[in-house]
Chains A and B, each alone.
Chain A
Amino acid sequence: MPAIAPIPHPKERRIIFKNIAQPGYSPDLACYLAHGGYESLRTALEMRPQEIVESVKKANLRGRGGAAFPTGLKWSFIKPDDGKPHYLVVNGDESEPGTFKDRYILHQDPHQLIEGMTIAAYALGVHLAYIYIRCEFPHAARIMNRALEEARQKNFSGKDILGSKFNLDIYVHQGAGAYICGEETSLLESLEGKRPYPRIKPPYFPAVLGLYMQPTVVNNVETLCHVKHIIQMGAEEYARMGTAGDGGTRTLCVSGDVSRPGAYELPCGAVTLGELIHDVCGGLKNGRTLKAVIPGGSSAKVLRAGEVYKIKGPSGECEIPMLEVIMDASHLTAVGTMIGSGGVIVMDDSRSMLWALNNINRFYAHESCGQCTPCREGSLWMAKITSRMLSGMQYPEDIRTLRSMADNIAGRTICAFGEACSWPTQSFVDKFPEEFSSTVIAEKMSAFP
């Protein structure tokens, strides 16, 4: 079954995925133009750059890469008349476990990204932009390069774009298999040809000291595609599709134990977690019951089936059962987790939480860049502990040790990887203590003096 069904689910509203997975739609420029492509760019080039930034602010667009930072606000950090070169970098390093949306845009609709990023570049006074694509997407790089060549030939890119006197050069840059490069300052180091050690903020905010130490905006692939639609629809109409603080649509990638896993584009906040799993994704596979959900990529804290959260609503404190949590940035934050990159991983009652956490811990131990000691050492130790526990050798104090290791990484590292690798351990051991509190196997214990 394809990850994006040709016929959308009734709850979906496809803007970004409108043409993706449609029979006959190709990544060619001619096909894009036949579907109204580059019309938004024409409109944008007649606007003042500041108007575009204001539109993106009004649209309540939040970044789709993981941090859900308001895009318009990020853009407004770039001073138009500072006399410095500005750069735009597209983060196409899609590596967060559970996330698989940008691949489809890069493969099937490359011109949508080029149009979105050209509008962004015009708004930000950028004349040189890079698309950072992970090297595990070799076809995506090839397709993007071809699309860029087509765009250059037809004057949608390059010098004096569509007679506007605006110049923009865009190049593809391939990564080399490191998850950390998804972190924006790490990505910039990688793009500068260095080891991708994240930079410390302050002072190295990309908007101040970004690529080559100049003001830089780093945006996710999907985020920049939304910009095109904000211009096309108008900021108000775009914002209205979503919720108050989270405008427009967002793609949610559902994987794991559901009947119809895949990438779905839904208005922000349009569905609850329960509707997403049981309605959009057809419920759990093989008639099993729900055990746990990771709602925003493997870094997000896990939610346990049956939990009830107390959150502050407009009319005082209220209780929300797990399946009624609304899938948008603010609601997921309110229940102690995050929408992240929209990678929803669903686990049924056959899954061992120790096994799942060990898999996640192994991932982070492998991907820690090694710059900060708490993360470099801690992620490895957490993985070693869960791996030992999984082999049947458990200490009664393991749960406490795991918790304290995670607590001593989060907040003590240069980048958010520290939180990303701690949150799974913290939430899994807190929410599923019965799966981590050991039944000590005495004879095996002796192997660990």
Chain B
Amino acid sequence: MIRILQMTLSSSQTDRIPPELLEHIDEAIARYPISSRSASLPILHLWQNHFGSIDNSAIEWIAAKLELQPINILELVTFYPWFRQQAAGRVIIRVCQTLSCAMAGSDRVYEAFCKATHIRCDQHQNGVLPTSADGNFSIEFVECLASCGTGPACLIQEDLLENVTPEKVSDILQRYSDKIL
């Protein structure tokens, strides 16, 4: 929560766009010679990967960059589940809750992650992912991760974890604590 508060109090994201990000954005636009509007999803990904979320200033900036209206970008951010307007924890844990993973016990895995990170197992509240008090971990249930044969599956940061059991949860969290935090 502290981190989220800091984010809202701090200046807008467009005040601190690094030159590398600008470069990547221009590269993304170049991949769509027919219509630069096609670059809106890639730019949103680049933006969220860098800043952790997409704020209002970003929506206006990206729209201007692509010669679009801000609503053209906002409607993407609100439609696609991957994008978020509020900051999340440093490590995001996504647990698959679709049929094959659910049959393999993904709800118990989700609960174990919540318990170990002291996150309340509630779903999204006002678009904010359930996040641990120290701002280190966020957790959410997601739909099919296409790893049905090796469920329960989790996507943590960019890594797919297969056959996850509640017993493995503390080791997994330790690994990400060491690596990222």
- Residues of A with C-beta under 8 A to B146: 94-95, 99-100, 102-103, 134, 136-137
Q: A97-B148, A103-B147, A179-B143 are in contact. Are A128 and B75 (CB under 8 A)?
A: no
Within the complex, what minimum Cβ distance (angstroms) separates A89 from chain B?
Answer: 11
**Per-position binary interface string of chain B over residues 136-179, scored 1 when its CB falls under 8 Å from any chain A CB and 0 otherwise:** 00000011111111110001001010110000000000000000
Within the complex, what minimum Cβ distance (angstroms) separates A199 from chain B?
Answer: 16
Interchain Cβ contacts within 8 Å, total number: 140
Is A419 engaged at the interface, CB distance under 8 Å to the other chain?
no
Is A155 engaged at the interface, CB distance under 8 Å to the other chain?
no
Within the complex, what minimum Cβ distance (angstroms) separates B75 from chain A?
Answer: 5
- Residues of B with C-beta under 8 A to A190: 41
Do A254 and B143 have beta carbons less than 8 Å apart? no
Do A177 and B80 have beta carbons less than 8 Å apart? yes
Do B37 and A192 have beta carbons less than 8 Å apart? yes
Do A193 and B38 have beta carbons less than 8 Å apart? yes
The residue on A at minimum CB distance from B48 is A176
- Residues of B with C-beta under 8 A to A194: 37, 72, 76
Do A363 and B148 have beta carbons less than 8 Å apart? no
Is B1 engaged at the interface, CB distance under 8 Å to the other chain?
no
Do B75 and A195 have beta carbons less than 8 Å apart? yes
**Per-position binary interface string of chain A over residues 110-135, scored 1 when its CB falls under 8 Å from any chain B CB and 0 otherwise:** 00000000000000000010000011
Is B116 engaged at the interface, CB distance under 8 Å to the other chain?
no
Binds B, one of A228-236, A256-264, A266-274: A256-264
Is A154 engaged at the interface, CB distance under 8 Å to the other chain?
no
- Residues of A with C-beta under 8 A to B162: 3
Is B98 engaged at the interface, CB distance under 8 Å to the other chain?
yes
Within the complex, what minimum Cβ distance (angstroms) separates A350 from chain B?
Answer: 10
- Residues of A with C-beta under 8 A to B18: none
Q: Within B14-43, which residues are at the interface with A (CB < 8 Å)? A: 31-35, 37-42
**Per-position binary interface string of chain A over residues 294-306, scored 1 when its CB falls under 8 Å from any chain B CB and 0 otherwise:** 1000100000000
Q: Size band of the A side of the interface?
A: 35 or more
Do A138 and B103 have beta carbons less than 8 Å apart? no
Do B150 and A345 have beta carbons less than 8 Å apart? no
Q: Size band of the B side of the interface?
A: 35 or more
- Residues of A with C-beta under 8 A to B94: 136
Do A255 and B41 have beta carbons less than 8 Å apart? no
- Residues of A with C-beta under 8 A to B149: 3, 100, 253-255, 261-263
- Residues of B with C-beta under 8 A to A347: 103
Is B121 engaged at the interface, CB distance under 8 Å to the other chain?
no
Q: Of the candidates A175, A176, A193, which one forms a contact with B37 in the assembled complex, judged by CB atoms under 8 Å apart?
A: A193
Within the complex, what minimum Cβ distance (angstroms) separates A340 from chain B?
Answer: 13
Do A171 and B98 have beta carbons less than 8 Å apart? no
Q: Of the candidates B41, B72, B99, B150, which one forms a contact with A261 in the assembled complex, judged by CB atoms under 8 Å apart?
A: B150
Q: Provide the bound-state CA to CA distance between A271 and B95, in Å.
A: 33
The residue on B at minimum CB distance from A174 is B45
Do A128 and B148 have beta carbons less than 8 Å apart? no
Q: Provide the bound-state CA to CA distance between A99 and B99, in Å.
A: 11
Do B151 and A255 have beta carbons less than 8 Å apart? yes
Q: Provide the bound-state CA to CA distance between A194 and B155, in Å.
A: 26
Q: What 4 A-B pairs are tightest by C-beta distance, nearest first?
A: A176-B80, A177-B82, A255-B148, A193-B37
Residues of A at the B interface (CB closer than 8 Å) are 1-3, 85, 94-100, 102-103, 128, 134-139, 171, 173-179, 190-196, 212, 253-257, 261-263, 294, 298, 343, 345, 347, 351, 356, 359-360, 362-363, 366-367, 369
7 contacts between A and B (CB under 8 A): A97-B100, A190-B41, A193-B41, A193-B76, A195-B76, A359-B102, A363-B98
Residues of B at the A interface (CB closer than 8 Å) are 31-35, 37-42, 44-45, 66, 72, 75-76, 79-83, 94, 97-100, 102-103, 142-151, 155, 158, 160, 162-163
Extra pairs beyond A177-B82, A178-B81 (8, CB < 8 Å): A138-B158, A173-B38, A176-B76, A192-B35, A194-B37, A253-B149, A256-B103, A263-B149
